[in-house]
Homo-oligomer: A and B are copies of this chain.
Amino acid sequence: MSGNYAPLNCLKGVRVVDLTQFEAGPTCTEALAWLGAEVVKIENPKSGDPGRRIAASDPNKPDSFYFKILNANKKSATVDLKTPRGVELVKELVKKADVFAENLAPGTIERLGLGYDVLKEINPGIIYCQVKGFGEGSPYEKSLAFDMIAQASGGTMSVTGYPGEPPAKPGCTIGDTGTGMLMAISVLGALYEKKATGKGRRLQLAMQDSVMHYIRTSFAVMNQQGNKTAAPRMGAQSTSGAPAPCGIYPTKPFGYNDYVYIFCSRANPEHWTRLLKVIGREDLIEDPRFATNEERNKNEGFINEVITEWTKNHTKVEAMQIIGAAGVPAGAIHDTLELQNDESFQKRGIMQTMQHPDGDWVCETWPVRFDGKPPELKPSPKLGQHTDEVFASWLNLSSGEIEKLRSEKVLGQ
């Protein structure tokens, strides 16, 4: 297994003071950590990032997998921000940092005395990142948000689900991870700029606005059609609409996720011919019912029957292999358990084993290969694991000073 991933030091020397929690903020700073930044989570000594307890409510229990997967490659230092000295210490860290990130409830960071106006005074080079549910100037700017609220109010739920049925939530956490990715891009732009100017930036991102970024093609389709009706729910169909066939077809053994997606691109008319050949229906190639995309759409019911006649005799994986190899886009509906157990992801380094004190497990890494290899996975930190290391290396505090701060309940374990 070794040799299929590599340490990545693109952001060597970049220091991040990370006050984020749950998912939208942590996924941003985790991306920076994958790329080699030194990311230090500042956590309250009692229980830390509340994400540690998602689906693991007992504080004595191991960290949740939710926390572990979203906080790989980071460090953790525990500081009590209810003590003035604790706040001062964070300011000292900020003086040494390039990036400060937070996604606390609206107004919280300012009440803690760590607002933008304060931190830019002590470090004009700081890149100060804030993620909130709604944007400054929005009628909802003081409202709370979580992933689902962002997906409701940002439009993704309105375009997800089957026609005629209520809206569904996309299974992907676009309000959270989707937001984190847009903020990470912006931080990296600001870091690049800072190399030239030495100056920091204030970056603000609303989860509602982020979500809209991921359905811009739905907005585009609506505009194309004259902006008279909202983009609809398309079931399993393509967002932009596509000529038949386009959708999911049932496969053996007809379980909950036994379907294969088949799609013949409008831009590649040969897909349709290839599909007919591979399913043994060459006889239909010249059939006038399928001569144009318009005719194919008119005869969608019949097309679906013909395809299902073939797919129902194959498993989804067979169907994906056979149709894909014939040069037609096809994808089995994989579920998370199948993907987790598919060793090809580990062989490629896309999944790696996290060696964690709570127990080893296999999880997704940053999926981009740099010169052939994804970055090395390092475990998420235990609460306060790096308190001593960070205050010693960033602020040159002696072990005696650190112990004193700990006995005064300013620092945690």
Selected contact of A181 from candidates B68, B169, B182, B246, CB within 8 Å: B182
Asked if A202 contacts B339 (CB within 8 A), the reply is: no
User: Which chain A residues (148-205) contact chain B, with CB distance < 8 Å?
Assistant: 148-162, 165-174, 176-178, 181-186, 188-193, 195-196, 201-205
User: Which chain A residues (119-171) contact chain B, with CB distance < 8 Å?
Assistant: 133, 135-140, 142-162, 165-171
Residues of the B chain whose Cβ atoms lie less than 8 Å from the Cβ of A8 = 189
Selected contact of A195 from candidates B192, B246, B321, CB within 8 Å: B192
Asked if A185 contacts B184 (CB within 8 A), the reply is: yes
For the complex with contacts A162-B168, A177-B217, A190-B370, 5 further pairs of A-B residues with Cβ separation under 8 Å are A55-B224, A137-B347, A158-B335, A160-B171, A205-B369
**Complex-state Cα separation, A159 to B334, whole angstroms:** 10
Residues of the B chain whose Cβ atoms lie less than 8 Å from the Cβ of A176 = 217
Residues of the B chain whose Cβ atoms lie less than 8 Å from the Cβ of A159 = 171-172, 335-336
Interface centre among A10, A162, A202, A205 (most CB of B within 10 A): A10
Min CB distance, A80 to chain B, in Å?
A: 19
Please, what's the 1-or-0 string for A343-361, where 1 marks a CB less than 8 Å from any CB in chain B?
0110110100000000001
* Among listed A234-242, A297-305, A385-393, interface-contacting one: A234-242
Selected contact of A239 from candidates B149, B157, B173, B206, CB within 8 Å: B173
Selected contact of A368 from candidates B183, B222, B267, CB within 8 Å: B183
Any chain B CB within 8 A of the CB of A58?
no
Min CB distance, A325 to chain B, in Å?
A: 7
Residues of the B chain whose Cβ atoms lie less than 8 Å from the Cβ of A149 = 261, 263, 329-331
**Complex-state Cα separation, A171 to B172, whole angstroms:** 10
**Complex-state Cα separation, A202 to B373, whole angstroms:** 10
**Complex-state Cα separation, A178 to B317, whole angstroms:** 24
Any chain B CB within 8 A of the CB of A220?
yes
Asked if A192 contacts B148 (CB within 8 A), the reply is: no
Q: How many copies of the polypeptide does the oligomer hold?
A: 2
Residues of the B chain whose Cβ atoms lie less than 8 Å from the Cβ of A234 = 169, 171
Min CB distance, A341 to chain B, in Å?
A: 8
Asked if B214 contacts A172 (CB within 8 A), the reply is: yes
Asked if B146 contacts A206 (CB within 8 A), the reply is: no
Residues of the B chain whose Cβ atoms lie less than 8 Å from the Cβ of A5 = none
| Chain B residue nearest in CB terms to A374 | B209
| Chain B residue nearest in CB terms to A13 | B196
Min CB distance, A71 to chain B, in Å?
A: 11
Min CB distance, A367 to chain B, in Å?
A: 4
| Chain B residue nearest in CB terms to A327 | B144
Residues of the B chain whose Cβ atoms lie less than 8 Å from the Cβ of A189 = 8, 10-11, 35-36, 188
**Complex-state Cα separation, A347 to B135, whole angstroms:** 11
Asked if A337 contacts B230 (CB within 8 A), the reply is: yes
